[in-house]
Chains A and B, each alone.
Chain A
């Protein structure tokens, strides 16, 4: 551990490598986290199946790659398919947990996550898979820093997707309806917004965003049926860190998490990557707790 630390200090280029990797991965985390923040903010459902939606999108990409179709084409396919799947989930499960005890939504989506994870395991097997996009790798600083082209492309795609979603939320009629429902569902209903439809659309949109993120994850990283829960936890960390309705916060949180993960898995060893994600979650929650305790003091 100390050896790795001193290595980082002696070879500053390594820092750049880790930081770049972290930021490029973090951009994709931001997508899934934004979806979670959306569902959380609009319908107060904490979706623990978030990561499994991501992994589902990833498997769409790997299936495309296995049939010799470039994984790029999986992106629109994943968006459409996952949108439909999200709608289905809403109609069958989520609709019935909105407005119920907060724990119910958590547990219902956890059960959903369990079903998805095991179903994926049965269909695709538990091997680690990736969708090879077949791009070159670029070398910087005389080969000491390497960045695969796919990662840049994934970053650009993530940016474009995020911009589309933000534009959609700001400009379109449905986007406005979603924001109105998030602010006050009852008032929105009074003003003629079909909130049930808005909820369904929001959840479907979230799962489409996750599906797209999953395609990107499969292109630049690896997927496996059981990785879903870690992705869910990442989304939670980012949203808890940023707070609801804070888009810049989500982006910064995601980039921070991505690089923190890279650094900690380099310093402590790759086998501690998941552990470091979960430890960051616990730390973030404790930080929030301290914050809310201070808030209570002020109120008193």
Chain B
């Protein structure tokens, strides 16, 4: 690694650590920003690197949220009675119990999400192209509706999470740092993953799945593994977000398919899909635009965001990094051979990492 790159990483980590201390009023917003980055990164494992465009990855976010809620609540009270009382059920617990519950909930959410990914993967991985996108969209929508009708987990009324035992300021900082660590871990893990044989294999699936299969790759195993990785991180961040918000309900918080679910796709495309830094850039930019439209276009913010997605997809499909690679290929280590007339972007993938 070049020193400038190391400096960049150190700078980002320091900024992330310092942010809630310097601008405490924005702690929640910045936590959501890290979550958005994680969303875009995990979507890109499938969508960008493997060519399987899922519109339903938000399912794992919601699944993780509900798994952790059930695990956390079950420690102190019978889940059915707790949810039936809509927050009126008094639970007694010590600080230590709360933190073990939270930790258990997050871990269970990650593992549970992997289970979901393996089981659902068996159902949908035969679908290709647009059918996969629509099928996964259907899964996420179905999950929201089914959970909404499931009384044991509170149905449409949702669950209020166990109340954080400490100071509100400590609470927001704690959840901020958990989300921050999760996002950084995801980035680091994917950075390593894309340099391994696994990264090459999923790229091969993107380029031509039948050929990859003919070359002896167990494409189904790779697809399941890739989806499980995405699900693992999404499930954990879902668990944290549920606790951060304090109240979860199926349509708007846990399975927000038409907001977060589509944002993660839009963010990856905006930054440039199939690259490591693209989703990070896209998520940051998108989040800023989102907050700006919230402030200045209140009421029409969703229309503006929808229009942004359309414009992005229709006119600027390659994304910021893709555009930059076209514009300054030499900066990305892409060697254009003039002798052959047509430039071959040989190093594009390597450079993107």
Contact = CB atoms under 8 A, between A and B. Distances in A.
Given A271-B148, A275-B146, A275-B149, A122 B305 contact: no
Given A93-B314, A114-B305, A118-B303, A278 B145 contact: yes
A285 B149 contact: no
A112 B262 CA distance: 12
B212 to A, nearest CB: 15
Interface stretch (B60-68, B103-111, B126-134, B181-189): B126-134
Interface in B137-188: 138-139, 141-142, 145-146, 148-149, 156
A96 B317 CA distance: 11
Given A103-B130, A114-B302, A285-B127, A233 B141 contact: yes
Contacts of A293: 126
B102 interface: no
A233 B137 CA distance: 10
Interface SS of chain B? helix
A106 B133 contact: yes
B84 interface: no
Contacts of B300: 118, 122
A180 B265 CA distance: 35
B306 A115 contact: yes
Contacts of A104: 313-314, 317
Contacts of A122: 299-300, 303
Given A118-B303, A118-B306, A289 B127 contact: yes
A290 B123 CA distance: 10
B55 A281 contact: no
A286 B135 CA distance: 9
B149 A272 contact: yes
A25 interface: no
Contact of A288 (B53, B131, B146): B131
Contacts of B135: 281-282, 285
B309 interface: yes
A97 interface: yes
Contact of B149 (A115, A236, A269, A290): A269
A103 B300 CA distance: 26
A7 interface: no
B315 interface: yes
B245 interface: no
Contacts of B129: 102-103
B312 to A, nearest CB: 8
B130 A106 contact: yes
A107 interface: yes
B258 interface: yes
B26 to A, nearest CB: 26
A292 B129 CA distance: 13
A100 interface: yes
B74 interface: no
Nearest to B120: A282
A258 B142 CA distance: 18
Contacts of B324: none
Given A114-B305, A118-B300, A289-B127, 17 more contacts: A46-B134, A93-B314, A96-B314, A97-B314, A106-B53, A107-B265, A108-B314, A110-B55, A113-B306, A118-B302, A272-B146, A275-B142, A278-B145, A279-B146, A282-B123, A285-B138, A292-B126
18 contacts: A93-B310, A102-B130, A103-B133, A111-B306, A111-B307, A118-B302, A118-B303, A122-B300, A122-B303, A272-B149, A275-B146, A275-B149, A278-B138, A281-B142, A282-B138, A285-B135, A286-B126, A289-B131
Nearest 4 pairs between A and B by C-beta?
A114-B306, A275-B145, A111-B309, A289-B126
